[in-house]
Chain A
């Protein structure tokens, strides 16, 4: 019996006559950290949108523990946390108000305690009553990360979370992801940052023109040569 948590089976996504994804099949196991690389336009973010139910595939199926997504709906959404390059925060609310709002949407028990703990964890507790629009990019990203964790999801999807982060904020994000990984969370990340991807992942996927061009466990990859592998995969051979 397969122990995969998320099964993506022959997924195609078409926008008009443009095929963003072409017959993608991928298995993600529980506690996997999968990093998806690829050039711009390769279909990485589209794939994440399908996994997070933000978009619907043209054909194919996505299953969670063998159950088709369409039968799960809100039960799946409750297990899912999404971190995007967009903050997903209201700039005219404070960090505290934002987090309590999202906690209420997920019906989090003892929301104030959960929010306080998360704010302390990313060193934002002292600024919790400041409006989000007064936050720096790094603070915004930290607030955005804990927003996605407020309901303690066991599947976390990250769409280019390192975009625009300074070194300190990147380190905080990496440390938070390691914490999540040690809690046996399943993580799927889209990024262009090869170093981070190699450091955290248990599986690497490279996408090219809407297809999976490379899919290996990290143990089977020569990390010192990965940049060459990546370039050879995303470069047109013809």
Chain B
């Protein structure tokens, strides 16, 4: 069996090559994310205090719904031409395929956040990265979304109604992550006591550890016909 990390790297490199060449996912994700941020900014008055209360929600809705678009597209590349079948035929651990794809999705999500964050700051006059801990929350939430998003995009991709299936499967299970992300972001945006964010960070960390372990166990069965 070839080195596990070499296989993860091969899948990651291939996915990023396809994405940087076509820019299919990142373009649609960025356009959708920017539109969401812009449209919500029109609803709220520039000087409104309520902006601070809803900023976290708007930011994460923009990121998560845009991310759903990218996840669907990334798996479609595997289904077209039977490529997923072909990589499953290779003598590598199926979880190496999963983690290669997960890392590629995570890179796309981080790029999306790099695009959305400055625009969001301009439209809402809010600096989301006002505290270094916010970087940790961004990382943990992106990790959780990419992890389960990759899993459910693999599960739903063969379904005829995959566009509807992916959010239907993914969003309910992501509710604790979305809540933790929004509420902890609001603490930093409103300049609240950062101690209040510690519990949310713990929840996000535990969620990620549990689901990373679960995927190691279940993914080989998920991809078996």
Interface residues, chain A, with chain B CB atoms under 8 Å away:
49, 52-56, 73-75, 77-78, 80, 82, 84, 86-93, 97, 101-102, 104-107, 147
Contact = CB atoms under 8 A, between A and B. Distances in A.
Contacts of B1: 74
A130 to B, nearest CB: 13
Given A93-B18, A104-B7, 8 more contacts: A80-B89, A82-B89, A88-B86, A91-B81, A101-B14, A102-B90, A105-B90, A107-B6
A87 B17 contact: no
- By DSSP majority rule, is chain B's interface helix, strand, loop, or mixed? helix
B10 interface: yes
Interface residues of B, number: 27
21 contacts: A49-B225, A53-B89, A54-B85, A74-B1, A74-B91, A77-B90, A77-B91, A80-B89, A84-B82, A86-B81, A87-B81, A88-B83, A89-B83, A90-B14, A91-B80, A92-B21, A92-B22, A101-B13, A101-B14, A102-B90, A106-B91
B83 A90 contact: yes
Contacts, number: 75
Kindly name the residue among B14, B87, B88, B92 whose own CB sees the greatest number of chain A CB atoms within 10 A.
Answer: B14
Contacts of B3: 107
B2 interface: yes
B87 A105 contact: yes
A80 B224 CA distance: 18
Contacts of B91: 73-75, 77-78, 105-106
Interface in B102-145: none
B90 A88 contact: no
Given A54-B88, A74-B91, A105-B87, A88 B82 contact: yes
Contacts of A101: 10, 13-14
Interface in B33-91: 77, 80-83, 85-91
